[in-house]
Structure 1
Amino acid sequence: MARSKKSTSKGKANEKNENQHISSQDSCMLLQLPGEIRNLIYSHLFTSTRLTFGKRSISRISTKRIKPTPNSLAVLRTCSLIKQEAGALWLGQVLFNFECVEDMLDKLSVLPSTTLSQIRHIRVSGRPLMLTPIGDDDDIHYRLVWALKLLPGLCLDTLSVLGLSRGEIAYDTLEGLVKYGNGWKELHFITPNSSMLGFKKLDMFMADPYWRKPQPSTWNDILIQRDGVDSGASITIYRSTRFDTPGTVVKPATRQLFEQKPPSPEDLETFGVEEERQLLGINERGKELLVVVKRGHHAHTSEQDSPPYPLEQDIRQWANGLTWAEIRRQCIDFSQESDDDPDFIEEDEDVQVDRYNDVDEYAWNPVN
């Protein structure tokens, strides 16, 4: 049976579009390069890309919702061949940057495990996650390590954490990650000042006194117990050489190695009882700290995804299989109904595009 004129015209149009598509690929300078060179270009682009999500505090009373720079991944929409080539690379090379723990859980907890396991670089605030456990009337501040356990399948190369200015909270957050953290091979923990290694002993109500120990030797001992003496696991501390200058501790030219010498056994009981004047004096307190934690070569870093969970602090102990979305609905007191939807944006909400010159640059939260 002969085709109709309409069918013939449609077939010619499709053929024309296909020929134009092939012609456009043939004329693309990028596609004229060898595949190895194209992959290097893709990698340079993606490692220079940051995708930021969440609400950023501008002052103590105002916030702005931050969204990624428009067309951050526009290369994936140029043509099918480039999408095919670069589509397998970007998840493992871009930096996913979250303003707070809740933002991270909102975005990542809904991803399929196959997608989540491809993400390799995350940066997040070290601010605790406040929840009211089901059946409890009290709010509990959960450290970052317990929030990360709600993302089984996470398999990062680097986890970067912007710690709080309050030394005791930053110290406890980092120690939890050293003791119980999984899902990452290398941790970069940054604080805006030196208080984390200089605060004095805290006498807490109805709790054991809490105070710091010599670092990084104490944390190194903990990590070696987890990963093994010959595993290559290590913890290194850097301290900025400049005070009140954000971003200097991540630059080799403006930082130096820092180590607190372990005292004699008889003096260990008094270590950390008082403030460390060397760290908290004039022009000293404002110097940033960077702690680099490297897990052992063959460390088992994947997260346990089934009960029994070993510690009472683990959110999963009382969540009983609830998803993060269900935990959020039941355990966080919302002020507005729209907060149930993390992607909902009110018409008058202040939205700001994330601008940066370098993916690793950061600014400290004014309420930090």
Structure 2
Amino acid sequence: MFLQIPRELRDQIYVCLFASTRITFGEKYISRITTKTMKPAPNSLAILRTCRQINQEAGAFWLGHVLFNFEHPEDLLDKLSKLPPTTLSQIRHLRTSGRPLMLQPIGYGDDVFYRLVWALKLLPGLRLHRLTVLGGSSGEIGYDTLDGLIKYGNGWRELRFITLDSAMHQFTEMDFLGNLDWDKPQPSTWEEILRQRDGADSGASITIYRSIQSDAPGAVMNPYRRQILEGALPREPGKLGVTDTENMELRAKEEGKEVLFVVKRGHAAEIAEQDGPPYTLEDDIRQWAHGMTWNEIRRQCIDFHVDEDMDVDDFFHTEKDDEVEVNNYKDVDEYEWDPVN
């Protein structure tokens, strides 16, 4: 009977179905030392297996409407780097954590933490409508991650950056990462950066929301459970953060209230990532990777394994039945905060 419905209505049903579908991969932290391998529900894309006609019709929709959800940037790269560019470019909705990517660059004796923006540059085929990032609980790292995405990020039209609380714009610690922009007023500084990147009249914008409820994961995503933060963030220009007393008072007042940054690129902005040298930024992983694939980078800079005879899929297949958890959800946008992130 479904195939007797007019094709235009079937297409709308396909869109509604896939827009409420989430496909999850990665290692989820249960505690600081315990993880579980997350996998999608086995029936996530069951409609594609019903018959040849539905497969052909729905196949044009699913990549552009499902939410691809990854626990960490490594998981994202493990899966998406294997896709053909034509497939990767059709993905429109992606979510991951803002946890830094730790690599030991070739010829370098120490580990280096790379922010999410540099990990995404290893996927130049991305053409996302929306990138959602769970920014974690560290104020310094969260600020630096969002700052990098605004300054150098490509591959997305809209960024939704979510933080556990207001710590990202309340920290008072020294600027140990050397970021000279931390003492500048926000979001006006970021808005100026977007205007310089996309044009003064491009429509690029940043809107900040704060949840009106404490300790309610996902509340800030609900228009009825959040409020817009007007004006500058509560930090004084010319100094890092606010005074200790003011900071403690602000933290107590806003403790546990999530913050959402919605960053929109300009209407005609070119979001495609540069897919070849020269790479002018020193933090760019591609500076020293010299054309290596992600699998090669991972094997040599994370796993320190150089056996060219081993099958890559076999090498990374380490899950056991009792360590796997199916990612069940009621709403595609719901999330839990990583206890380690």
Cα 1:260/1:66, change in 2 over 3 Å? same
Q: Equivalent residue for 1:136?
A: 108
Larger Rg: 1
Q: Equivalent residue for 2:152?
A: 180
Measured in 2, the distance between the counterparts of 1:93 and 1:210 equals 36
The structural deviation recorded for 1:201 is: 4.2
- 1:69 correspondence with 2:27: no
**CA-to-aligned-CA distance 1:322-342 (integer Å, 9 cap, x gap):** 00000000000469x999647
- 1:359 correspondence with 2:332: yes
**CA-to-aligned-CA distance 1:327-364 (integer Å, 9 cap, x gap):** 000000469x9996475134365100001000000000
Q: Equivalent residue for 1:277?
A: 247
Q: TM-score, normalised by structure 1?
A: 0.86
Cα 1:30/1:208, change in 2 over 3 Å? closer
- 1:55 correspondence with 2:27: yes
The structural deviation recorded for 1:272 is: 2.3
Q: Which amino acid aligns with 1:48?
A: S
| Aligned ranges 1:149-188 → 2 under 5 Å | 149-188=121-160
| Aligned ranges 1:258-297 → 2 under 5 Å | 258-261=229-232, 268-270=237-239, 272=241, 274=243, 277=247, 280-297=250-267
Measured in 2, the distance between the counterparts of 1:289 and 1:212 equals 20
Q: Which amino acid aligns with 1:284?
A: E
Q: Equivalent residue for 1:109?
A: 81
Measured in 1, the distance between the counterparts of 2:322 and 2:100 equals 25
Measured in 2, the distance between the counterparts of 1:310 and 1:168 equals 25
SS for the counterpart of 2:60 is coil
Native 8 Å contact 2:166 2:251 kept in 1: no
**Which residue of 87, 90, 107 maps to 1:118?**
90
The structural deviation recorded for 1:260 is: 4.3
Cα 1:299/1:63, change in 2 over 3 Å? same
Q: TM-score, normalised by structure 2?
A: 0.93
User: Structure 2, unaligned stretches of length 5 or more?
Assistant: none
SS for the counterpart of 2:95 is strand
Q: Which amino acid aligns with 1:36?
A: E
Q: Equivalent residue for 1:33?
A: 5
**CA-to-aligned-CA distance 1:117-170 (integer Å, 9 cap, x gap):** 000000001000000000000110000000000001100000000001000100
SS for the counterpart of 1:185 is strand
Measured in 1, the distance between the counterparts of 2:249 and 2:217 equals 17
Native 8 Å contact 2:103 2:112 kept in 1: yes
Measured in 2, the distance between the counterparts of 1:244 and 1:198 equals 18
- 288-297 or 276-285, larger mean C-alpha shift: 276-285
**CA-to-aligned-CA distance 1:81-127 (integer Å, 9 cap, x gap):** 11110011100000000000000000000110000000000000100
Native 8 Å contact 2:183 2:239 kept in 1: no
- 190-199 or 271-280, larger mean C-alpha shift: 271-280
Measured in 1, the distance between the counterparts of 2:182 and 2:201 equals 30
The structural deviation recorded for 1:221 is: 0.9
**CA-to-aligned-CA distance 1:280-320 (integer Å, 9 cap, x gap):** 43241321110000000000100001100120000000000
User: Structure 1, unaligned stretches of length 5 or more?
Assistant: 1-28
**Fraction of identical pairs, as percent:** 64
Measured in 2, the distance between the counterparts of 1:209 and 1:299 equals 26
Native 8 Å contact 2:64 2:93 kept in 1: yes
Q: Equivalent residue for 2:215?
A: 244
Note the aligned Cα RMSD (angstroms): 2.3
Number of residue pairs matched?
336
- 1:345 correspondence with 2:314: no
Cα 1:154/1:304, change in 2 over 3 Å? same
The structural deviation recorded for 1:261 is: 3.3
Cα 1:348/1:118, change in 2 over 3 Å? closer
Q: Which amino acid aligns with 1:114?
A: T
